[in-house]
């Protein structure tokens, strides 16, 4: 798929058909994610692919439990219906103090790569700067060592919803020349 089309068409998808994603497709996606830039080319990523129903439920419960009040309209229950969930983690030792950047830049590629393969996905955070509980609970469920940071949670599946194109803020409100 064309880059521009992938970027413009991609939406955050939270409803999925009951249909498996072939392992070969997941490998292609994670293969691609490795090409993300990383600080000092540390390539610090770990990708955990979760298909087990009970684990998906546990992750959804954590996301619901730590959901801030203003985001409660987006319940995390839908995660259980995803064909799979990818948890993107980074190894602190290979991250040069840029765990978050490295994790998000790879996640961004996963979102685009998924869309270009007809898959829907949505970016969810796996940590909170103010609340270490969320990362720690995810670590515990998935057996992630304390030196590895979970950064994002990406539920994925064949889309069972079609969203209207987003209304975007006009570029003139966002762009500044030389100074803010």
- As measured in angstroms, the least distance from the Cβ of 68 to a second copy is 7
Using CB under 8 A as the binding rule, whether residue 96 contacts a second copy is answered as yes
Using CB under 8 A as the binding rule, whether residue 89 contacts a second copy is answered as yes
Among 19, 41, 146, 162, binds a second copy (CB under 8 A): 41
Only segment of 14-22, 57-65, 75-83, 99-107 that touches a second copy (CB under 8 A): 99-107
Secondary structure letter of residue 74 according to DSSP: S
Using CB under 8 A as the binding rule, whether residue 100 contacts a second copy is answered as yes
Whole-number Å distance between alpha carbons of 48 and 29: 13
- As measured in angstroms, the least distance from the Cβ of 59 to a second copy is 12
- As measured in angstroms, the least distance from the Cβ of 131 to a second copy is 10
Strand 120-121 and strand 148-157: the pairing is antiparallel
Nearer to a second copy among residue 16 and residue 151 (C-beta) = 151
DSSP string, 64-118: HHT--GGGTTS-SGGGGGSSEEEEEEEEGGGTTT-HHHHHHHHHHHHHHHHHHTT
Among 17, 65, 71, 75, binds a second copy (CB under 8 A): 71
Q: Is 46 helix (H, G, I), strand (E, B) or coil?
A: strand
172: CB partners within 8 A, 6+ apart: none
Q: Is 16 helix (H, G, I), strand (E, B) or coil?
A: strand
Nearer to a second copy among residue 43 and residue 64 (C-beta) = 43
Question: 103-162: which residues touch a second copy (CB under 8 A)?
Answer: 104-105, 107-109, 111-113, 116, 122-123, 125, 128-130, 142-145, 148
């Amino acid at each position: 798929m064309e880059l521009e089309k992938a970027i413009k068409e991609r939406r955050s998808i939270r409803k999925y058909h009951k249909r498996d994603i072939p392992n070969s497709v997941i490998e292609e996606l994670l293969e691609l994610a490795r090409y993300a830039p990383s600080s000092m080319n540390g390539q610090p990523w770990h990708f955990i692919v979760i298909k087990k129903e009970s684990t998906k439920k546990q992750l959804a419960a954590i996301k619901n439990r730590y959901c801030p009040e203003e985001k409660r309209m987006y319940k995390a229950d839908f995660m259980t219906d995803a064909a799979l969930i990818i948890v993107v983690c980074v190894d602190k030792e290979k991250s040069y103090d840029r765990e978050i950047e490295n994790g998000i830049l790879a996640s961004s590629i996963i979102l685009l790569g998924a869309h270009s393969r007809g898959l829907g996905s949505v970016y969810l955070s796996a940590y909170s700067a103010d609340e270490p509980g969320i990362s720690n609970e995810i670590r515990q469920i998935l057996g992630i060592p304390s030196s590895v940071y979970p950064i994002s949670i990406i539920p994925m599946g064949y889309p069972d919803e079609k969203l209207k194109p987003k209304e975007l803020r006009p570029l003139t409100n966002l762009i500044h020349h030389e100074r803010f």
